[in-house]
Structure 1
Amino acid sequence: MSHAVASRNDTSSLSGLLLPLADRTLLLPNVAVAELIAYQTPQEIAHAPDWLLGRIIWRDLSLPLVSFEAASNGQVQVGEQARVAILNAIGGQPQVKFIAVLVQGIPRAMKVDRTLPSAPGLLAPLELAAVQAGEDVAKIPDLVALEHLLSGVRL
C-alpha cells in the first residue's frame, strides 16, 4: 500500500473547529457546524431562561439563540466580534433540528487525532472534556445535553 493511499484512508484524525466564546473555547467536529453567520439581535422569547437569548432567522427557519457560557454557569456576553454558529442537532429531539450558538469571533480549523492530550481543570455543566489544543485549552461540549435543555423550554 502506498503512503498516499494510507494517509487518505487514515481514520485516526478528523477536522475540528475551535469556536471562541467569551470565557472559553469549544472544540467541535466540522460536521457539527452547519454555518457561521453574522450576529443578529434575537427576537425575545417570553419567560425564557437567561441562557436563551431569543430567536433568530436562518434560512427561513426560526432558531433558538443560546449563550453556551450562560447555560454552563457563565455570563452572557455579546462582544464586538459576536457571530452565530449554527449547529446541527444530533440528539434526536423532534423540535430541535438546529441550534444557534453565540460565538465571539471566527472559528479556527484544527486537525484532531487520538493523541490530543486532555487538559487538567474542572469541567462546567454541558462540558464533556477539556483538551490541550495547541497552546489553548478547548472544551468539548455536550451537545446532546444542550438539546435536552432546549427541549425543556417552551420555544
Structure 2
Amino acid sequence: MNADELYAVLMSVHDDTLLLPNAAVAEVLARDALQPASGGPDWLAGFCDWNHKRVPVVRFEVLNGGERGGDPRRERIVVLHSLGRHVPGGHIGFVAMGYPHLVTLNRSALRPMALDRGDVDEFVLSRVRIASQIALIPDLEAVEARIAGALAAA
C-alpha cells in the first residue's frame, strides 16, 4: 500500500453517505439481525447479537438531525469496532442502506466541503467530496459517548 493511500468505506444511510475507515468495519449483517429497542431515543434503532455480544445499533441520519426513511428491505447492519472508551463490548452498529463499498483514496481525491445546514457538528467531523460523491465523516467517539449516555439512562 502506498503511504498516501487510505482504504475507506462509503456507507449509504437515508439521504446521506458516510465515509469510514475500512478498519472500523467488523462485519455487515442482514437487517433481520436487528432487535428493535423498546423506548429510548428515536436514533437508537435497537440491538443485534454479534459474537456473543449485545451491540447497540444507531440510525446515524436521525442522530444527525435527519429523518428515518428508505426501504427497510435494503437495510443492513454494519458492525463497527468502537474506540472502546464508552461502549461496553467494544462495538456499535449503524443501519445502512445496502452494502458498504470499499474505496481507495489518496489526499488529492478528497476535497473539504462545508457542513450541511442541518448537520449536528457534535457528530460530524467533516464533509468531503470524492469525485462526484459528497460524504460525511462521523465523529465515532461522540456517537459512542451518546450511545453510552442513552444506555446508562435506560
Same topology, TM > 0.5 = yes
Cα distance between partner residues in 2 of 1:150 and 1:41: 19
Asked if 1 retains the 8 angstrom alpha-carbon contact of 2:8 and 2:103, the reply is yes
Q: CA deviation at 1:76?
A: 2.0
* Cα distance change of structure 1 residues 94 and 17 upon mapping to structure 2, 3 Å threshold: closer
Larger Rg: 1
Asked if 1 retains the 8 angstrom alpha-carbon contact of 2:29 and 2:76, the reply is yes
If the length of structure 1 is used for normalisation, what is the TM-score? 0.86
The structure with more helix, counted as a fraction of residues: 2
Q: Which runs of 4+ in 1 moved over 6 A?
A: none
| Partner of residue 116, structure 2 | 122
Matches within 5 A, 1:2-151: 8=1, 10-40=2-32, 42-77=34-69, 79=71, 80-90=73-83, 92-93=85-86, 95=88, 97-115=90-108, 116-122=110-116, 124-125=119-120, 126-151=123-148
Q: Which moved more, 1:34-43 or 1:124-133?
A: 34-43
Asked if 1 retains the 8 angstrom alpha-carbon contact of 2:87 and 2:147, the reply is no
Q: What letter is aligned with 1:153?
A: A
Deviation digits for residues 59-90 of structure 1, max 9, x if unmatched? 22111111001111011235221101001101
Residue correspondences, number: 147
Cα distance between partner residues in 1 of 2:89 and 2:33: 20
Asked if 1 retains the 8 angstrom alpha-carbon contact of 2:43 and 2:58, the reply is yes
Q: Secondary structure at the match of 1:49?
A: coil
Q: Which runs of 5+ in 1 are unaligned?
A: 1-7
Q: CA RMSD in A?
A: 1.8
Q: Secondary structure at the match of 1:95?
A: coil
* Cα distance change of structure 1 residues 46 and 87 upon mapping to structure 2, 3 Å threshold: same
Q: Which moved more, 1:91-100 or 1:45-54?
A: 91-100
Q: Secondary structure at the match of 1:117?
A: strand
Q: Secondary structure at the match of 1:40?
A: helix
The structure with more strand, counted as a fraction of residues: 2
Q: CA deviation at 1:57?
A: 1.2
